[in-house]
């Protein structure tokens, strides 16, 4: 589910009405608040309009700036752009992302169940730029 704090104009979501990927516009936000009918907007209100888009390898490569860097034996493929770095791997038929990070020279891994809108928000926070989709 999408949290209200993750909802942002310009992010991509799946329309519950049309079943296609759409870009959030101000009118969508108005609709969500209208559906709430004066109550505090929560994830259920957002779910009436949008569903999150889960990231997989193919979707990651549709984002401008991401490219395949190299295959890491027994880990997966490293996917990078100028700011973010992920290892993408398939496990039991599903695609997973994890991000390696280093603390005092030791490699640690944070497995993330990232959704497209969250990646867009993170990228915007780090760069001040919007992610574009090919």
Q: Which pLDDT tens digit goes with each residue over 96-117?
A: 666 665 555 555 555 566 788 8
DSSP tag of 9: T
Q: Which of 2-11, 15-24, 67-76, 114-123 has the lowest mean pLDDT?
A: 67-76
Q: 57 near 45, Cβ under 8 Å? A: no
The residue count of the chain comes to: 134
Q: What pLDDT is stored for residue 60 in this prediction? A: 72
Segment 89-98 mean pLDDT: 62
Torsion sign over Cα 104, 114, 82, 125: negative
Q: 118 near 60, Cβ under 8 Å? A: no
Q: Which pLDDT tens digit goes with each residue over 35-79?
A: 898 889 999 999 999 999 887 767 777 776 666 655 555 555 555
Q: What pLDDT is stored for residue 55 in this prediction? A: 77
Q: What pLDDT is stored for residue 61 in this prediction? A: 73
Question: Residue 133: how many CB atoms within 10 A of its CB?
Answer: 13
Q: Name the average pLDDT for the chain.
A: 77
Write down the residue that tokens 């497995």 correspond to. Answer: 111
Long-range contacts of 95-104 (CB under 8 A, 24+ apart): 95/55, 95/56, 95/57, 97/55, 97/60
Q: 4 near 46, Cβ under 8 Å? A: yes
Could you give the CA distance from residue 94 to residue 83 in angstroms, rounded to a whole number? 25
Kindly list the domain boundaries of the chain, sorted by start residue: 4-51, 57-127
Q: What pLDDT is stored for residue 59 in this prediction? A: 77
């Amino acid at each position: 589910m999408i949290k209200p704090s993750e909802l942002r104009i310009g992010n991509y979501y799946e329309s519950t009405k049309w079943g296609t990927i759409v870009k959030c516009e101000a009118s969508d936000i108005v609709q969500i608040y209208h559906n709430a009918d004066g109550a505090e907007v929560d994830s259920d209100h957002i779910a009436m309009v949008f569903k999150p888009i889960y990231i997989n390898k193919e979707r990651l490569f549709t984002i401008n700036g991401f490219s395949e860097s190299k295959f890491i034996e027994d880990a997966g493929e490293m996917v990078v752009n100028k700011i973010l770095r992920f290892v993408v791997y398939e496990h039991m038929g599903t695609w997973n992302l994890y991000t390696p990070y280093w603390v005092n020279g030791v490699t640690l891994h944070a497995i993330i169940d990232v959704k497209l809108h969250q990646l867009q928000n993170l990228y915007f926070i780090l760069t001040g730029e919007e992610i574009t989709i090919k």
